[in-house]
Structure 1
Amino acid sequence: MIPAGRWTWLLIAALAMPSAAQETVVPKRNVRTGWAQVLRVDPVYQTLTATAIEEQCEGEAADPGRHGLSRIVGAVKDALTAEDKPPAQPRPGCKFVPVERKFRRAIAYDVDYVYRGMKYRSRLPYDPGNRLRVQVSIQPVAADANGNE
């Protein structure tokens, strides 16, 4: 059992906690949103290199049946087939050679835009179109003890 003196202090401490929480002031953020006019969008590209092994034969033109969509369908079919096949051997007079292909893809966009008469540039992960929603925050510059910025 708790003695009466301690019980009183415990009660005072419990009553003081809500008043401390009430003194906490949450400052308002000086943040607004608006719309900016997009002036220009330049994609930023990443170049990827893929290497495939293809059969090359002497004095023979490339097999037109193994290009484009039929090549993709064949690769998917081979990947989904569960059979364990021995490595393919080239036809007589042919050999396997590595062929490199380069692919470009947009990974970001450099966006020039104007908001309230001022021009800005940002790199975004998407193409914003004609308008860009912006967040504007105003904050005073802190000065030192002499009033200098």
Structure 2
Amino acid sequence: MLRIRTLSPLLQVALLLVASVIGPARAQQSPQQTVIQVENVRTEYARVLRAQPVYQTLRATAMVEVCEDGVPAADGEEKSRLARVVGAVKDALTPGKDAEEDATTVQPREGCQLVPTEREFQRPIAYDVDYVHHGVKYRSRMPYDPGDRLRVRVSITPIVSGGP
């Protein structure tokens, strides 16, 4: 008999479940004893043929200052924009100013106007992976790029027919 104390708790529960199912069935069957193994499992490696990223597209709208010549304001002017925002906040906080003025709006320079510009960003959210294992091609969607090899779980379970 097996010494149950030396087995892991998970294995103990599995053995008890199998014994509770097989016990009553064995009492009703013929004197022959039949034990069915649940499954044979091992891990192997498959060769990756292709890993194609699946992208999520994000859209964002930003206000860009466009001047009369049609060119957006240069990046070097970023400091002057910041200075204008700080100045607008200071003006809004000083007493005697009109309370209805909005301190967060930035007024464009003379000859320029603020235009909403939509931008798109793409980021990979998954990978469609094509791989070969023992000459058979498979495809799976994975959360990461597996590289050249993919570890796969191989499970073999016999099909048991109804009678001998």
TM-score bucket of the superposed structures, by smaller chain:
0.5 to 0.7
1:37 matched to 2:37: no
Query: Any runs of at least 4 consecutive aligned residues in structure 1 with deviations exceeding 3 A, and if so which?
Result: 25-29, 140-143
Are residues 1:128 and 2:146 paired?
yes
Q: 1:54 maps to what in 2?
A: 64
Which deviations, in whole Å up to 9, do the C-alpha atoms of 1:107-130 show, x marking residues without a partner?
Answer: 111111111121111011111000
Aligned residue pairs, count? 114
Alignment of 1:103 with 2:121, yes or no, is: yes
| Partner residue, 1:137 | 155
Is the partner of 2:16 in helix, strand or coil?
A: coil
Q: Residues 83 and 24 (structure 1 numbering): CA distance in 2 closer, same or farther, change over 3 Å?
A: farther
Alignment partners' CA distance in 1, 2:147 and 2:106 = 49
RMSD (Å) for aligned C-alpha atoms? 3.3
One-letter amino acid matched to 1:64? A
Partner of 1:5 in structure 2?
none
**TM-score using structure 1 length:** 0.62
Amino acid at match of 1:33: T
1:132 positional shift: 0.3
Task: Give 2:47's aligned amino acid.
Answer: Q
Q: 1:14-93 counterparts in 2 under 5 A?
A: 24-25=16-17, 29-59=39-69, 61-65=71-75, 85=89, 86=103, 87-93=105-111
Gaps of 5+ in 2: 1-12, 19-36, 90-102
Hey, what's the Cα distance between the residues in 2 that align with 1:31 and 1:99? 55
CA contact (8 A) 2:88 2:106 kept: no
